Every structure is written in C-alpha cells, then in structure tokens.
Structure 1
Amino acid sequence: MTDMIIRTLLGTVFVWSLSACGSDPVIDPAECVSGLTGEEQSTGWRMLFDGSSLDQWRSYKEDSVNSGWAIENGCLARVGWGGDLMSREQFANFELKLEWAISPGGNSGIFIRADESGRTMHHTGYEMQVLDNALHKDASIPSHRAGAYYDMIVPDHDTSKPAGYWNEVHIIADGANVEFWLNGRITAQFEQGSPEWKALYEKSKFTSRPKYGSLFKGHIGFQDHYDKVWYRNIRIKELP
C-alpha cells in the first residue's frame, strides 16, 4: 500500500486522547503519517518534516527548537509557549504541502517569505490562517478564517474541516504570484506588490510594519498563538 493510500485512510478522522493533566489533547501515533509518494519523489519534492527529526527547524531568533515545539507521536506539535517556529532554510519560489489539525477553539498560522527583523514572523511574512472556524471568535472576521490570507483576503467559501479532522494545505509562491489552497480549493490568490495588493495592505493591520510583504525570499514558519496545533507531512518543491 502506498504512502498516499495510507494518508488517505488515516487523514480523515483525527484521534486524540487526554494527557495526564486532564485537558491537553495528545495525538494518536496512527495519525502522524508522513512520506513522499513515488510521483512526488520523481518530481523534485523533499521532506521538511518527516515525523522523526526537527533538524530542519529552529525557534524564531534562536539557534535550536525550544521546548514549546516538539515531536508528539510523530507529528510536529505546539506543546507550550515557544514563539514562532521557522525553517532553517530560506525559500524563494516553491510549492509547499502539509496537513494541519487544530485543537478545539484553536488558532495558529503558516508563514512564508519571512525574516527575523521583527518581533515575530508576522512582521514580514504572509500568513495563511489556521483556525477552528466553528469555535474560535476570530471566525467572526471573514479575513481571519481558516485558509484566508490573514487580514488581507477573504476566502469566498469555507472549505476548512473542524477540530478533530486534518486539513490539507498547498501553497504556491512563484515570483510575485502567490496562491493559498485548503482542502483542494483555492482560498487566496494575489500578486505581491501589485496595486491591488497595496490597496489591501493599506486597509490591513500591517501598515505599521514597513517590511511586511516586501520579501521575495524568506523562511517558512508556524505561528505560536497559544493553542495546541499539529502539523504533519511537511514537504516542499523548489521552483526555478
């Protein structure tokens, strides 16, 4: 059975148990399946997180991964306060695929093209929102819902799955053109630096951050927004 078939079988329903503290959900190891398909291997994809090592990651403005992020039964998890997590490498043009699951009422985010010049990755990088739309109060703001280009572009539909399920992400960054996909449907599309993008920027919360959206190469990252979140099967394909 191929990795893709295994991911399909295991990727629908999210299983967790409660830890000894009684409230912190812990993922079941059967959920944490990572690996490239044969087609992905032959077309230039590689793993950024394979379920066994955090060597390709470090905490924001730190040399290594601090205790706020960990491998939990084979998934990358936010397990305590640790600030944003970022890739050691920087990427310019690429396709990124991964899957995320959020705890009930949880909030996180996926950053691209960020550097370390600000207090968080949010000061320079674009964020694809990760959210439990059913229970988190941010869902009342359309541009803050799961799949949105955070505070900039509103998805025209809700393709997210709630806490208890895995969500599939595909991000394409090719020159100035960027696309966010969630569960097989596009949720945001924009041209970096275009007049349309600048108009969105002027209406956003980022106007006090002069480097925001200015980078065409940067780190990939995950936001620490205080809530438990899991990521698996993180893979990338660099484009010319």
Structure 2
Amino acid sequence: MNKYTLLFIPALFAGQVMAQDKKPDPANDPKTTEVWEPVPKIVTPGKLPQDAPSDAIILFNGRNLDAWHAVKDPAKPAAWTIDDGFFTVKKGTGNIETNKKFTDYQLHMEWKIPENITGEGQARGNSGVFLASTGGGDDGYEIQILDVYNNKTYVNGQTGSVYKQAVPLANANKKPGEWQYYDIIWNAPRFNEDGTLQKPASVTLFLNGVLLQNGFVLKGATRYIGAPEYKKHGPSSIKLQDHGDPSPAISYRNIWVREL
C-alpha cells in the first residue's frame, strides 16, 4: 500500500459520512408533494355508464314511485302512470318530488318524448327537472325538457337550458320516441343566517353524453316572468314537472342520484 492509497481511504470515508448526513432538498424531493390521506372511498361502477354505481340512491326502480310524492299534497303518493320499467306524466295530477331532500349531488335520469308528439314551441312534450324544489308549483331551479329535435322555440327555454337563464351549448336531442339521458352535477346555493346569499348554485349538465352546461352559475331560482332571485332554503327535493300540455306526455326511467 503506497502513501497515496493511505491518503485516499480517509478522504473516501469522510465523503461517505457527509453524503449520509446530507438531507434531501425538499424542492427536489418528489415525496414532498405526495398526499396519502384521506383515502377516497371505493365505489363500484355499474356495468354500463347508465347503470347506478354502488353508492347511488335509486329514485325509480322500474316498478313503483315509492321514492316520490305529489307536490299538491305531500301526504299522497305520486299518481303518475307506471308501465313496463318506466313511468309517464299523468296530466292534471301535478308535479311530483322526491321524499328525500338533497344538497349537492350527481343525478342520472332518462326520458322519452312520445313518438306521436303533437304541438309546437313550448307545447311539445314540455316537462322539466327542478334540481331543488323550494316550494309548491314550479318553485325551484329548472332544467328544461322539451322536444326540440325539429321544433323551434326561445333558446333559453329549449332542452338543456337552465330555464330562462342559460342557453345550452348545443342541441343534442334525439328524435321523439327515442330514450335520452341527462347526467347532471348540482352544487346547491349556500346562505348566511340572515338569509343573504353566501355562494350561488352551479350546474354542469350532459345530454346524451354531450356537454350542454359547463359549471353555469345560476342567478337565482326559476322565474317564468321576471328576473331570477335567491331565497334562503336548505336541502331540497328533486322535482319533476307536469306541464299540463294537451299533447302526449313524456316518460321517465332509470333515475338515480349520488350525494356529493
């Protein structure tokens, strides 16, 4: 062993000690940006995109309307007509709404304009889903449902509009007689104790897989006449509209919701 080797060994040992003592620079350490908790819950998706996932609340199971009641008289069950796996608006019975109240949610629902639809404009298969029912009648926040496959009307009142507030980004309607589907993300408004608005509502909506509303911030509840406005409320039912048109009525099926 020569003198140079004797000098190299202590220097190598000192270098190893310094390397062990040196802590990693957080700015260059990928672990500093890793998040491990909370762990997202496991949700088993349905076999098909329209099938309810494991944590969904089924609002219509194809057999009964036990999850709904009449708006005119909450003590009475929904009186709409049940057929083979779907139900149809029974004109003159009024709107129906869910027994359970919701705040923020993901909603899937399927609907069909009858093939023998008549009428024009707003009198052609008119119905709607109110994402939060805030009272009797048509109080709440309405997403319009209407036949606009080949039917002209005001664009903030066509299918996929936030009624009288937001024009849909596209017309993705199918022909009357074909089943169509909405997928909706609803973020309910929040209010201060004194009733003033703390945070407005927002909605994202797909019709038949096509984006029609992209995080639209609502100006308030639906108004047929006049400007929309907010009034304090808490968790609310989901409501379906009996518009009372003389034309054949709209049908619904496969309705489920996931609370967010």
With structure 2 as the length reference, what TM-score do the two structures score?
0.65
Distance 2:100 2:82 in 1: 20
Tell me by how many angstroms 1:191 deviates: 2.3
Structure 1 counterpart SS, 2:244: coil
Does 2:233 correspond to 1:222? Answer: no
SS at match of 1:235: strand
Is 1:177 paired with 2:192?
Answer: no
2: distance between equivalents of 1:141 and 1:151? 9
Tell me, in whole angstroms, the C-alpha distance in 1 between the residues paired with 2:113 and 2:72.
Answer: 25
**C-alpha offsets along residues 75-117 of structure 1, whole Å, 9 cap, x if unaligned?**
021133111010011100110101000122311111111122x
SS at match of 1:140: coil
CA distance in 1, matches of 2:233, 2:166: 19
Structure having the higher Rg: 2
Amino acid at match of 2:148: N
Q: Answer whether contact 2:65 2:78 (CA < 8 A) is retained.
A: no
2:105 is matched with 94
Q: Which runs of 5+ in 1 are unaligned?
A: 9-34
CA gap 1:135/1:223 in 2 versus in 1, 3 angstroms: farther
User: How many angstroms does 1:135 deviate by?
Assistant: 5.5
Deviation, 1:4, is 4.7
Task: Compute the displacement of 1:74 (Å).
Answer: 2.0
By how many angstroms is 1:221 displaced?
1.0
Deviations for 1:170-221, whole angstroms, at most 9, x for unmatched residues? Answer: 11113433212211122123224xxxx26x98xx645477656x54521101
- Spell out structure 1 runs of 4+ moving beyond 4 A: 2-5, 208-212
1:117-156 alignment to 2 at 5 Å?
A: 118=136, 120=137, 122-123=138-139, 125-134=140-149, 139-156=152-169
Contact 1:57-1:64 within 8 A present in 2 as well: no
Distance 1:178 1:66, change over 3 A: closer
1:168 aligns with 2:189: no
Q: Distance in 1 between matches of 2:170 and 2:104?
A: 27
- 1:155/1:47 CA distance change after superposition, 3 Å: same
Match of 1:232 among 238, 244, 253: 253
Does residue 1:84 correspond to 2:82, yes or no?
A: no
Q: Identical aligned pairs, as a percentage?
A: 28
Q: Find 1:70's aligned residue among 75, 81, 88.
A: 81
The residue that corresponds to 1:114 in the other structure is 133
Kept in 1, the 8 Å contact 2:60–2:253? The answer is yes
- Partner residue in 1 for 2:41: none
For the 8 Å contact 1:102–1:130, the answer to whether it is kept is no
- How far apart, CA to CA, are the structure 2 residues paired with 1:179 and 1:206? 24
C-alpha contact 2:125 2:250 (8 A) present in aligned 1:
yes
230 and 152 in structure 1: CA distance in 2 versus 1, 3 angstrom threshold:
same
Q: 1:4 to 1:129 in 2, by over 3 A?
A: farther
SS at match of 1:164: coil
**Any conservation in 2 of the 1:90–1:220 contact (CA below 8 Å)?**
yes
Q: Counterpart of 1:128 in 2: which secondary structure?
A: strand
Give me the whole-angstrom Cα distance separating, in 1, the residues matched to 2:173 and 2:143.
12
Mapped to 1, the partners of 2:161 and 2:211 lie a distance apart of 10
